[in-house]
Homo-oligomer: A and B are copies of this chain.
Amino acid sequence: MNGKKLNQLKELIYEINDIKMATAVLAWDQETYMPKGGIQDRAEQLSTLNKISHGKFTSSEIGDLIKELKSEIKSIDDESNDVRLIRVLNRTYNKAVKVPASLVAETSKACSIGQQTWIEAKNKSDFSLFKPCLELIIELKKEYAKIFSPYASIYDPLLDDFEPGLKTTDVKKIFNELRPQQVKLIQQIREKKEIDNSFLFREYDIEKQLGLGKDAITKFGFDWDRGRQDKSAHPFSINFGIGDVRITTRLDKNYLPMALFGTLHEAGHAMYEQGISQELRRTPLGHGASLAIHESQSRLWENIIGRSKAFWTYFYPELQKTFPKNLSDISLNNFYKGINKVKSSFIRVEADEATYNLHIMLRLEIEIGLMEGSISVADLPSVWNSKMKEYLGITPKNDADGVLQDIHWAMGAIGYFSTYALGNLVSVQIWEKINQDIPDISSQIEKGEFSALLGWLRKNIYAHGAKFEPQELVQKVTGSKINPAPYVKYLSEKYGEIYSL
């Protein structure tokens, strides 16, 4: 490739990346420390920065450079960083310039009103209030998707925004295979005696909870020189470069798992970003590969490690020592069972590991139905409730605990949900491969040794950033594409043992 043009393009891309990272700092501050009086100024600052970075990215200067450099790429299979950068830029540029500014503005407005209305509808538990807003959002999303026709499914372009390269037919196939097996597992568990995890709801000192989470992720290998932890109403991880990756934590003094597993989850996201190769910094490759791959890492550290017997064999003595009054009467085995209790519940974000994916599948089917036209917005409450009954065996009493529980659709984030479940599947595929490469991994974890694990993840996944598309990366790492079989096996073995199935 023409080195001079490439450098020219990179300089432009670096600048856009800097603006986006600055935007992220402002967003982080808004969720952690900003006084409430700052909201109007902050909204304007964010809007201005977004406008500038969008304007710069969609400039013909960048378009021409991408086009010219792309034409010089000799082999499509070339895995050099530069070739991959051009490919990613080409894809995102072509998507960005095709969407008319008027549609962007209209969608932004509809979602802004949508979110306000959603809050009201949720408070009143009345879906009919939100219905017209969602209808408009779905219409605008259809208009958006149609820009990218032809496609096999009108849902494809939405999915592609979150999981580059993934198709609706792929996710349908994956989830059709997964669903009946996961539904069956839940049914089997429902027939067993309920696990007593009431000890998790005792009073746990907030600062001690924070300290424990910090100890755990320090052991994992979270790099505090390149990160920090703060409190916020909703936990998240965010980064402003590979050298500054932050997590936030929500604390509940009467529910131990909230902060603890939340911290492990966000640290999983954060260690991914901390592990990206310096060579990719300041470019779109210098971030995680996709939401699903990101979620595979948060879930790996939160669930596969964080809810494993091996980890608690190592960490439970510290937990007990920190909260002797609450936990001296709870054995390791009962603690382990308690944090892995399975019970169908209405709210996705409170769901356990075994039921979680079913919440996602329900949403995914509804989204595809809405986009393809087989489900109408008006039907949502009844569709929701009948699917809840079918998959989880329970029916929400009202819209607030049902179809209105998530903000995603009001935000226009159609296509997002599947990434949560795909992340779970990928996490286990990766875990199987780790067990092949590091056969004594579980006994390492029992001893509190995580460096071989983190080293493996860094080398095989983190370092690559967004250089590979999600399916390509999973194939490279595990030898097959995203595949539900390992996950089903994992759930069956883990919960088979816990519930003596």
Contact = CB atoms under 8 A, between A and B. Distances in A.
A228 B34 CA distance: 8
Interface in A212-256: 223-228, 230, 240-244
Nearest to A28: B29
Interface in A36-84: 36-42, 44-45, 47-49, 51-52
B282 A35 contact: no
Contact of A29 (B25, B35, B227): B25
Contacts of A48: 14-15, 18-19, 22
Contact of A38 (B33, B44, B49, B244): B244
B41 A21 contact: yes
A21 B23 CA distance: 12
A8 to B, nearest CB: 16
A26 interface: yes
Residues of A in contact with B, size category: 35 or more
Contact of A41 (B26, B228, B243): B243
B29 A44 contact: no
Contact of A225 (B37, B227, B230, B244): B37
Contacts of A243: 35, 37-41
Given A19-B49, A26-B25, A48-B19, A226 B38 contact: yes
Given A26-B25, A29-B25, A49-B18, A224 B44 contact: no
B226 A40 contact: no
A401 to B, nearest CB: 33
Contacts of A51: 15
A33 B228 contact: yes
Contacts of A52: 15, 19, 52
A32 to B, nearest CB: 9
Contact of A44 (B18, B37, B227): B18
Contacts of A19: 45, 48-49, 52
Nearest to A19: B48
Contacts of A41: 21, 240-244, 281-282
Contacts of A223: 37
A45 B230 CA distance: 22
Q: Which 4 A-B pairs have the closest CB atoms?
A: A41-B241, A38-B244, A37-B226, A37-B243
13 contacts: A18-B49, A22-B48, A29-B29, A33-B33, A33-B228, A34-B244, A35-B224, A35-B226, A37-B243, A37-B244, A39-B243, A41-B282, A44-B282
Interface of A: 14-15, 18-19, 21-23, 25-26, 29, 33-42, 44-45, 47-49, 51-52, 223-228, 230, 240-244, 281-282
